[in-house]
Amino acid sequence: CLEAGVYYLDTANYEPKDVAKFEYHWQWAYRERFEKAGLSAILGCGFDPGQTNIYCAWAVQQHFKEVHTVDIMDCNAGSHGKAFATNFNPEINIREITARGRYWENGEWKETDPLSVHAPFDFAECGVKDMYLMYHEELESLAQNLPGLQRIRFWMTFGQEYLTHLRVLGNVGMTSIQPIDFQGQQIVPLEFLKAVLPKPESLGENYTGKTNIGCWITGITHAGEKKTYYIYNVCDHAACWQEVRSQAISYTTGVPAMLGAKLLLENTWKKPGVWNVEQLDPAPFMAAIGDYGLPWVETWPETSHPVP
């Protein structure tokens, strides 16, 4: 994009093919070059990362002078009827889930064993689901960009059947990204697994149920009060299929990207350099996103944290 002189927008950050990790620093390194070229690059404009980052920016703009804790919670309570399938690229999805958990607290990163920390949470329109602490890329940028932040964590729900399949695949080496020799050629087990699993785009037609993704935030309001704030979206798989022939995971990723591109092309989000979405004005996005199918709900819970 820099060489072609065009704007850039993505929904997830760069991930090296041969190393199971993802970081923003490779993309942040382009900031000065994009500034000098007068070009805008917007990073992580899907739902998580993306709309969740914007929820945090909105909370700061509208409600909080200090954000102390953030828990990003991603629930998929849908069913696609398959024994085992991933909702997006299996390589990325499985690498993400099998990685060590990671969260930011009091100025430093802390790690956990993969999927070792979990807790139940009652998600609106989805019910009580077990959610698991994971590392997700928006933690890296939000840890830098939220004033007064003390801790930020990311949680995602999984059913026991899904986790059992994942555990068995891991035990027999099918989630490995290290090449092996097979019939005279090298193959990567995870790439082979991707080839035999159902394609994510094939899941939508029979998908039922809903997703609930949001941010549970504590901090000090502009009025000086200590408050808890919860903002989330609920999306229906079947409704997404009826509208655009997609399941809700793809829908919730694609719609924010569309709106981000629209705001960029309208010059509302035009800002030379490389930016994560929480560094941009959340107001025009929040004013429009409901009209495009992803309305948001905000509440003020009495409980300080979603996890004891």
The secondary structure element, H or E, covering residue 295 is none
The mean of the pLDDT values for the chain is: 94
**pLDDT tens, 230-259?**
999 999 999 999 999 999 999 999 999 999
Domain boundaries, the chain: 8-299
Q: What pLDDT is attached to residue 139?
A: 98
pLDDT over threshold 90, residue 4 = yes
The average pLDDT across 88-114 equals 90
Cα dihedral 237, 241, 243, 248 sign: positive
Task: State pLDDT tens for residues 38-89.
Answer: 999 999 999 999 999 999 999 999 999 999 999 999 999 999 988 888 877 8
Q: What is the pLDDT of residue 90?
A: 79
Read off the pLDDT of each residue in 27-32 and give the average, rounded to a whole number.
97
Which three-class secondary structure state does DSSP give residue 302? coil
pLDDT number for residue 52: 99
> What pLDDT was estimated at residue 219?
97
pTM of the full structure: 0.93
DSSP 289: G
Q: Could you give the C-alpha distances from 276 to 18, 178, 200, in angstroms and in order?
A: 25, 31, 27
Say which CATH superfamily domain 8-299 falls into: Dihydrodipicolinate Reductase; domain 2 (3.30.360.10)
The residue-averaged pLDDT of 193-204 equals 88
Nearest-5° angle of CA 157, CA 57, CA 287?
A: 95
Q: What are phi and psi of 169, to 5 degrees?
A: -60, -40
Helix (H), strand (E) counts: the chain? 10, 14
Tokens of 196: 């035999």
The whole-number pLDDT of residue 15 equals 77
Greater confidence (69 vs 99) lies with 69
Residue 299 has pLDDT above 80, yes or no: yes
Identify the CA nearest to 275 among candidates 41, 3, 16, 1: 41
Q: What is the pLDDT of residues 200-234, one digit of tens each?
A: 888 889 999 999 999 999 999 999 999 999 999 99
Tell whether the model's pLDDT for residue 20 goes beyond 70: no
Q: Which residue has the higher pLDDT, 199 or 59?
A: 59
**Above 90 in pLDDT, residue 184?**
yes
Tell me what the mean pLDDT of segment 181-206 comes to: 91
* Paired tokens of 242: 């009826």
Helix, coil or strand: residue 168: helix
For residue 3, name the pLDDT band (cuts at 50, 70, 90). Answer: very high
- Say whether the peptide bond before residue 282 is cis (omega within 30 degrees of 0): no
Question: pLDDT tens for residues 141-182?
Answer: 999 999 999 999 999 999 899 889 988 998 999 989 899 999
